[in-house]
Amino acid sequence: MAELRQHPGSGTHLLLHCGDILEFRVDSPEPIRGKAYLRTNLGNAGYHRKEIIEHVEDEITPGFQDWNNLPMEKIDDFSWKIRLMLTEEGHFEAKCFIYNSETMQEPFWVSGDNVHINVEPAAYCCANGVYCAFVRQFGGNKNKPVSEFPSGISQGDLTRLDQQGYSVIPPSGTFRDLIKELDHIFNDLHCRILHLLPIHPGPTVYGRMGRFGSPYAALDFTGVNPELAQFDRKATPLDQFRELLDAVHMKGGKLFIDIAINHTGWAAKLHETHPEWLVRDSDGSIHSPGAWGVTWGDLTELDHSKLELWKYLAGVFRYWCVRGVDGFRCDAAYMIPESAWEYIVAKIREEFPETIFLLEGLGGEPAVTANLLNRANMNWAYSELFQNYTRSQIEGYLKYAWQQSAGDGLMIHYAETHDNLRLAATSNEYAKMRTALSALTSFNGAFGFTNGVEWFAREKIDVHESSALNWGASENQVAHIRRLNTILAELPCFHNGSVPAFIDCHADNCLLLGRTDADGGSAVLIAINLDARRSATVSWNIYSAPFDANTVHDLISGKVFELTRGPGGERSLLLPGGA
Q: Is the pLDDT of residue 102 over 80?
A: no
Domains 5-120 and 131-491 are alike in CATH topology: no
d(CA 356, CA 228): 24
Distance CA 403, CA 500 (A): 11
Beta-ladder partners of 108: 98
Q: Assess contact for 269 and 213: CB atoms under 8 A.
A: no
- E strand or H helix at 189: none
- The answer to pTM > 0.85 is yes
pLDDT in tens, 325-350: 999 999 999 999 999 999 999 999 99
Burial readout 21-43 (b: 16 or more C-beta within 10 A, e: otherwise): ebebbbbbeeebebebbbbbbbb
Contact 497, 521 (CB under 8 A): no
Would you say 4 and 26 are in contact if contact means Cβ atoms under 8 Å apart?
yes
Q: Give domain limits for the chain.
A: 5-120, 131-491, 500-575
* Mean pLDDT across 510-517: 96
What is the distance of C-alpha 93 from the center of its chain?
A: 23
What's the DSSP call for residue 302? B
Q: Which of 30, 38, 115 is nearest to 82 (CA)?
A: 38
* Per-residue pLDDT tens over the stretch 20-42: 999 999 999 999 999 999 999 99
Between CA 440 and CA 407 the distance in angstroms is: 20
pLDDT at residue number 362:
83
Task: State the alpha helices, DSSP H only, in 109-268.
Answer: 155-163, 175-179, 182, 237-250
What pLDDT is recorded for position 1? 67
Q: Are 545 and 503 in contact (CB under 8 A)?
A: yes
The CATH homologous superfamily for domain 131-491 is Glycosidases (3.20.20.80)
d(CA 254, CA 185): 12
**CA neighbours closer than 13 Å in the CB half-sphere of residue 65:** 11
Q: Give domain 5-120's CATH superfamily.
A: Immunoglobulins (2.60.40.10)
Using one digit for the tens of pLDDT, what is the confidence trace for 381-433?
Answer: 999 999 999 999 999 999 999 999 999 999 999 999 998 999 999 999 999 99
- At residue 102's C-alpha, the angle toward residues 96 and 107, to 5°, is 25
Kindly report the average pLDDT of the chain as a whole number.
Answer: 96
